[in-house]
Chains A and B, each alone.
Chain A
Amino acid sequence: MLEIAGLTKSFGPRQALASVNLLVDDGDFVVLAGPNGAGKTTLLRILAMLMRPSSGTLLLGGVDLLRAGPGVRRQIGYLSHRTLLYDDLTAEQNLRFYARMYGMAEPEARIAELLARVDLAERRGDLVRTYSRGMQQRLAVARTLLHEPRLLLLDEPYTGLDPVASDRLTALLSGLSGEGRTLLLTTHALESVALAGRRGVILSRGRVVYDGVIDDPAGFGARYRALVGSPASASPPSGPRASEYVSARSDGRRKGAESGPLSTTGGDTKRGEAPGYLRQVLAIVAKDLAAEMHTREIFSAMAVYAILAMLIFSFALDLRGAVARAAAPGVLWASIAFAGTLGLNRSMAREQENGGMDGLLLSPADRTVVLVGKALGSLAMMAALEAVLVPLATILFNVGLLNAGVLAVVLVGSVGYALVGTLLAAIAINTRAREVMLPILLLPLVVPMLIAAVQVTGGLLEGLRWADLRGWTQLLVVYDLLIAAASLLTFEIVVEA
């Protein structure tokens, strides 16, 4: 049973949803209709826990979705306008990644079954970027069904599908409804025969203006036009509406209420704890590295940029002896910092391409899993870059950078850099100037840390002991810790809508 009561959502002075009330029984198949901007997608995104409402309550199987832990997301499947797939992974890799995020123990059989059902078994090893729009949509359907959710939220699922694929999807959805799964589907194809017998809900300007069974799709289409085509649609019209439907379903509602509270996967806890924090973090890291193995674009860009910077500094300054020892740490860290922004920006852009960030947020993972996973992925890339840059700086400046102390400082500095860089990349990617915003936001924030790192590196080159460098080391570590704590505490706010 899904219970929506008094749900509102405002974006500044604009109200997208105005006190929406709906009761949806287990196994219901609800068709949400409404003109563009009526609030359908906003409603589905709130139900998918991707967006918080301004007010109202949401209960799924008795569990308050606005207060539930991340584990409850295993009960929800959301098919977005965007595919939430990674172009640089194969179909199989995409599904395997999501299976790990959902904590599925033995996903291979399920993945094979779903790929067969959406007719992609033969292309399972191909990169998603080589798929047609329709194929990507079919794979997105498979992703939505992968973890066998009880509540399916489908936003325009027929987009891009050919007639045969549409028929297959209709049969698939009917089967899911028959299994007792609850479906909410938005569509503009109101006169499709597939809608006959379903429950139809019409939204207009954020309000439910009709709620009833679709006896005749053609009649439903006519009713839709009558309700949303006139200014009067802003207020609920007379005629059969939600109240009648809810009344007729009251038996079902009682039945749903008696079915008891929702259990998360394995029925372990009503509140829904997110299991396998480390496993989910590693899944994100592995996914990022797998995508990088297919493209090699992030490391290549970072390495070429940093090597060029270092060569230009070396050529322009042509330093030797003590002056070279003084300059080398600064050149090294400047190269790492500037190249690092390239990698962080591209890594987050990859998440945004098909809405992958939404895919991560849909999974039953704590939000900090996403931050830590993405940051570790970037850190791995930076470590690979540093494995090239430190020896290169040693050669070009003829200084002894290849020692354990310097490598430890490089690693400590990079950890903080990757964490706060990931946080700010998640912000920058949502700005108009997304290509240039990250360095503007990030570099001023890490300047004190970079200065400390340069001082410690320089001190080690001069043969100073750690005790002599205590002040700068303290600054490096304290700054690292403060920035890491701030990033962990605020990441959820950044990605939450």
Chain B
Amino acid sequence: MSNDILLKVEDLRLYFRTTKGVLRAVDGVSFELARDRAMVIVGESGCGKTSLARAILRLLPRNVHTYSGQVHLDGTEVMALNEEQFRRQVRWVKMSFVPQAAMNALNPVVRVGDQVAEPLLIHNHVKSKKEAMGRVEEALRLVGVPLDFMTRYAFELSGGMRQRVIIAMALVTSPVLVILDEPTSALDVLTQANIMNSLKRIRKELALTYILITHDIATSSELANESMVMYAGQVAERSHAGGFYKTPFHPYSKMLMASVPTLREDKELAFIPGKPPSLINPPEGCRFAPRCPERFSKCDQDPPAVTMEDGRVVKCWLYTGKAR
């Protein structure tokens, strides 16, 4: 792994206040991501993937209970910045976001071109509208939207084209890090493959760093250099892509991989019995233990994050003796 770390997250926590108590959506997540790499975050719905993205981007709802930890981006500790500094210096300047199901969130009464230009104008990247439109054209060309679509409205575009427009909005300010939250989950297979192709090409051309959040493991392999499995607000396993897809370590990752239907090879599908724990008052000890086939007495205590020989990190008692 290269030493050029772009993003370093340490012990990030995001708790929400709810009527039933404190919900620990992100509970002590740490990872680092090198420049020009793509990391996928996988996990079941409700495991805190999207909350993690929002915590990194500081796009928070009003009912935040705790928001702590450190996020180093490109050498700056961004958690120390105040709201205005963060908005001016980081969000959409250094990192941008493609939210989930965003293609339905385009403004129906603003032309596509003007909408893509919006982040540029708001963040004062450009002096004139004309310059902005030049950058918009560039961004749309990158994602493969025909330029005559600039004067159209969102409802005149198909789902795939709208999703491309949303990706263009994330690219137009030339960020270094793009967080993609389920960018293709609502799309058809062929469209999805086309957009994945575009994302790969863009990453090579612009030397971007991606974080891809998805629950679709087969599709996630399209972009992954590295992978992170989340379970109940915590990181279960962090690994290079080859390790995760070929030989997952954590019992949860193993079961997750076994439940992925594959097209070409014959395998008996397994499923994970039970359901994830509530994030309000999660169980003591390992959070996966109640569903885990390999649990033993130690699992009543919270397992440490074990760093393995090849740099993989597994939060499981099974591997404590095998640390490097």
Do A and B make up one complex? no
The residues of A with any CB-CB pair to B shorter than 8 Å are none
Interface residues of B (CB under 8 A from A): none
